[in-house]
Amino acid sequence: IYESQPFTLFPGYNTAVLQGISVEVPDKFTWTVKFDGLTGFSKDRAALVLRDPASIGKSFDDFWVRFGNGWGTWRFKGDPIANFACKATSEFDLSVTFAALERNEDNMPLLTIQGPRGQTVIVWASNNLKEWEPIALQVLDERRFTLLDEHADPERPRYYRAALTNGSPIEMSNFKILPNKKTRLSVSGPRGLPFTVQASADFESWEDVFSLAFQSRPITIQDGDAAEQDIRFYRILINNTVVQDVNSIKETIITFPDDFVNE
């Protein structure tokens, strides 16, 4: 499933670090090392370091050796145990993507969403890139799932966005206009995920209002600059790359004063 490019070894003990492999490995796998350009004589040969017991995991007490007529297994009969030193580190992929966008026989949108197994994905849909509604909340038992958007109009454009939520959708709530004309709102989302709330008067020029990471409870925010504006729009930007929109709109948008109530 993977083969590295050749790299140089120097006299003495060497540690080779291979990064960016980007493959999904099974619970058990075999790794091999091939030495080239050596005569096998003294000071011109190479070998792997034995290390037992293994710090993490385990290996069998045998290994593969290439003889003149092919490959065969070899073991030291337990003295020493054939644990060659190798450390494999996996990285958890937290990205969510639209793997496929199709239409079924009724011309309805059919989406395939891909993400890390065991995580929760929420999918939103919109007809105008302003009003978004959640249409699915799905735990990824496998890395992909297929979603049919039954509420779409086949004759109108439809936009989608998806994000990992860990069960907590990203949303704004409790919109209030205070007596001093400042605004107050609450934001909530997956705990620990960094976010930024931005505001605009024209949907073109946006300014940061508040930046933090989502907590276990909704966070209340006040916008003092809203008192100087006749109209104010708000959106949430996700600082990490866990949100991917088909139309490159990484935001949740609400409008002021339409979405607000007087207090």
The ranges assigned to domains in the chain are 1-91, 97-164, 171-262
244 C-beta neighbours (distance < 10 Å), count: 18
Domain made up of 97-164: CATH architecture: Sandwich (2.60)
Q: Which CATH number describes the domain made up of 171-262? A: 2.60.40.10
- Report the alpha-carbon distance of residue 116 to residue 111 in Å, rounded: 17
pLDDT at 93: 63
DSSP secondary structure letters along 97-110: EEEEEEE-TTS-EE
Residue 219: the pLDDT is 92
Q: Mean pLDDT in runs of 10 for the chain (263 residues)?
A: 85 82 73 83 83 73 78 81 77 74 86 82 83 79 86 86 69 85 85 81 86 86 85 74 33 51 50
- State if pTM tops 0.75: no
Q: Fold match between 97-164 and 171-262?
A: yes
Instruction: Give pLDDT, residue 243.
Output: 37
| Rounded alpha-carbon distances, angstroms, from residue 48 to 124, 138, 190, 210 | 52, 46, 45, 54
pLDDT of residue 241: 32
Handedness of CA 213, 218, 220, 226 (dihedral sign): positive
Q: Quick one: pLDDT at residue 191? A: 72
